[in-house]
Amino acid sequence: MKRFIIGIGGVTNGGKTTLTNRLSKALPNCCVVHQDDFFKPQDQIAVGDDGFRQWDVMTALDMEAMVSTVRAWQENPLKFALSHGVRTRAEEQDPALHHQAHILIVEGFLLYNYKPLLDMFDKRYYITIPYAECKRRRSTRKYTVPDPPGLFDGHVWPMYLKHRAEMESSCVDVEHLDGMQSKDEIYNQVYKDIQNTLLNSL
């Protein structure tokens, strides 16, 4: 059974979740892990020198639990899919068809700065959008914990630049996606690339 782990990372509000949801419906035997599901409780998020709770840093996330979740998928994609309510084509057709590809999409804003997770990906995509567009999109979002005034300029954007610089200085192999393209253009580009990767692996 072929297993592929695809990372969809990049800037906040860049379109990661939209792309992930569309791909997960189109790709066979596809499960999804969202990094946002691994945030620690608010009372465990430190307040930094910038005066803001440090949501956009690695320590705000339970990365060990996230890696364990990905490992659980690696060990048994069919069991993982069943426990997450995902119907697989093997299940629909014939349980003996276990030779086909199973795909896990891991989506999040800070995927490529944590080596235990970084090393698990077969493909890595990274979406970017300019500062002004990112700020505009962020201002229209409704979060469970609302952004306090000044958070974007004082914490979110600086942390994005910091982590992106760390990723680039480590020469992480990512395929860059222009988040200013239409949703269809981004989806078609990634979908074709994944299909080619799957075909070349058979």
The rounded distance, in Å, linking the Cα atoms of 13 and 143 is 12
CATH number of the domain bearing residue 177: 3.40.50.300
pLDDT category of residue 145 using cuts at 50, 70 and 90: confident
The rounded distance, in Å, linking the Cα atoms of 20 and 6 is 10
The string of pLDDT tens digits covering residues 149-169 is: 999 999 999 999 999 999 999
- Specify the residue for token string 């499960």: 31
The pLDDT mean for the chain works out to 90
The string of pLDDT tens digits covering residues 16-55 is: 999 999 999 999 889 999 999 999 999 999 999 989 999 9
Q: Is 94 a residue whose pLDDT tops 50?
A: no
Number of domains in the chain: 1
Q: Does 36 qualify as catalytic in the annotation?
A: yes
Backbone torsions φ then ψ of 164, nearest 5 degrees = -65, -40
Cα 108 versus chain centre, distance: 3
Identify whether the C-beta of residue 109 lies closer than 8 Å to the C-beta of residue 129: no
Q: Give pTM, 2 decimals.
A: 0.90
Predicted pLDDT of residue 87? 65
**Domain that includes residue 61, residue range:** 2-201
Find the mean pLDDT for residues 75-101. Answer: 67
Q: Which of 36, 50, 153, 178 is catalytic?
A: 36
Find the mean pLDDT for residues 68-78. Answer: 95
The rounded distance, in Å, linking the Cα atoms of 69 and 115 is 15
Give the whole-number percent of the chain exceeding pLDDT 70. 93
